[in-house]
Chains A and B, each alone.
Chain A
Amino acid sequence: MGPSSLIVLIIAAIAFSGIAILIAKFVLKASTNKQKGEPYECGIPTQGKTWIQLNVGYYLFALIFLIFDVELVFLYPWAVVAKSIGWVAFIEIIIFFFILFMGFLYAHKKGALKWI
């Protein structure tokens, strides 16, 4: 169907979820009380704010991921032509992976991959 299928799919997804939620809203007879809107934390009243600082570990992994994800995008065009170019492509990718792996080892040495 070509590119127009993406529009169809997006509209289909929105329509499907929208109609489902709307039907649920109309079918329902809801009552309200004070406790209903409280966040569910196993019955204990929630303590303090929710949006607090989290473990820095997640951030470090996200940073290392960023480097490797950019690398992955560079690899796609290489992968398509690798077979037809031959050994030059192989040597190039070894150099590329070597530099990348040095960075990875540096991050490892710095303790970025250790969960604190």
Chain B
Amino acid sequence: MWSFSHIANEIHEWLSKTFNPTLTLIIEMVIAGVAVIGLFAALGLVLVIMERKVSAWIQIRLGPNRVGSKGMLQSLADTLKLLVKEGLTPNGADKIMFNLAPFIAMIVAMLLMAPIAFAKDFQLWDLNIGVLYVSAVSSIMVISILMAGWSSNNKYSLMGAMRSGAQIVSYELSAGLSILSIVVLTGSLQVSDIIHSQANGWWIFKGHIPAWIAFVTFIIAVTAETNRAPFDLAEAESELTAGFHTEYSGMKFALFFLAEYVNVFIVCAIGATLFLGGWMPFHIGNWTAFNHVMDYIPSSVWFFGKTFFLIFVIMWFRWTFPRLRIDQLLNLEWKYLLPISMINLLLVTAMAILGWHF
């Protein structure tokens, strides 16, 4: 049957038959690089148009509808527009830091792609500490934001960066603790192990209420970590113009924008992998016929379906909740989410030891 891992194996076999091992490795690296860049660009275009269409749908308006059929080419047109805009560097800015910041944002977003399982047995690197790797690499994101804000020589940027720094480091804790509760249930940090442990049911069903609490905490925390509304204090338009990227224009701004959207995709992919079973199809007990129908749907469709559902939920948040104030934001994390997720981790541990999960 057609699948991503099948195609990858075919290409690998053909290459190793035709070329010597070194050349095979180099060609495979180039293919992987081009594929990831393509995925990156496609994700950026799709997520921007999705965001605009979803917000238009929620606010009962039309949204972009001029370029292409139903405005589907709008984000492509926007990218072309940004390409011919000038990338200004303000006077008195720290030039090296200012130009380095978008690169770091992109590198972090790209590195996070490594352990994500896009389809059955289809992963760039299935490293044995996959989950730890994700939380370690994603915390570098804050450095690029602080660099961008500090080097811009603009007070709005600096304020935005400081707020963003406080916010991201705070919410990392509850995101980490809710990831840990799944690690306790699975007993492994490897992404493929975590997915295989959900073959007979996703953790969100198997883990009872503690898994639900962990899931909700995780979604709130990653919404804050990716600087999205209602936690978009770092770029609150009405207070700080555009926050840490006020001074960025042209392609550098586009790179920040792209990195932000890809980060949303990645955290949703991690959430889908940990709680909703990654590429595992939806099974109900012993309904054999139903399970067979579900198995027939390709694993990549399951993965992208779950991920885009979570992205939709995060976009839904944006148009439902008003923006928080900085003290309310920090109170929510330190006085509610952190104690709740610590106690929840104890509950999950007790449940795992007693064997109360299915």
* Inter-chain contacts of B176 with A (CB < 8 A): 72, 75
Cβ of B67 < 8 Å from any Cβ of A?
Answer: no
Q: Is the CB of A5 within 8 A of B110?
A: no
Q: Is the CB of A69 within 8 A of B132?
A: no
Q: Is the CB of A94 within 8 A of B109?
A: no
A38→B153 CA distance, assembly (Å): 9
Cβ of A106 < 8 Å from any Cβ of B?
Answer: no
Q: Is the CB of A81 within 8 A of B187?
A: yes
* Inter-chain contacts of A46 with B (CB < 8 A): 154-155
Q: Is the CB of A90 within 8 A of B353?
A: yes
A10→B170 CA distance, assembly (Å): 27
Cβ of A9 < 8 Å from any Cβ of B?
Answer: yes
Contact with B along A1-43 (1 / 0, CB 8 A): 1111111111111111110110111011010000011111110
Choose among B37, B89, B334 the residue that contacts A113 (Cβ–Cβ < 8 A).
Answer: B334
* Inter-chain contacts of B153 with A (CB < 8 A): 39, 50
Known A-B contacts A12-B37, A42-B241, A83-B353; A115 and B90 likewise in contact (beta carbons under 8 Å): no
Task: Determine the interface band of chain B, counting residues with CB < 8 A from chain A.
Answer: 35 or more
Choose among B103, B156, B166, B173 the residue that contacts A13 (Cβ–Cβ < 8 A).
Answer: B103
Choose among B34, B109, B127, B173 the residue that contacts A65 (Cβ–Cβ < 8 A).
Answer: B173
A81→B36 CA distance, assembly (Å): 34
* Inter-chain contacts of B56 with A (CB < 8 A): none
A50→B91 CA distance, assembly (Å): 12
Nearest-Cβ distance from residue B263 to partner chain A, whole angstroms: 13
Cβ of B162 < 8 Å from any Cβ of A?
Answer: yes
Contact with A along B161-174 (1 / 0, CB 8 A): 01001100110110
Q: Is the CB of A97 within 8 A of B184?
A: no
Q: Is the CB of A39 within 8 A of B28?
A: no
Contact with A along B230-253 (1 / 0, CB 8 A): 000000000001000011001110
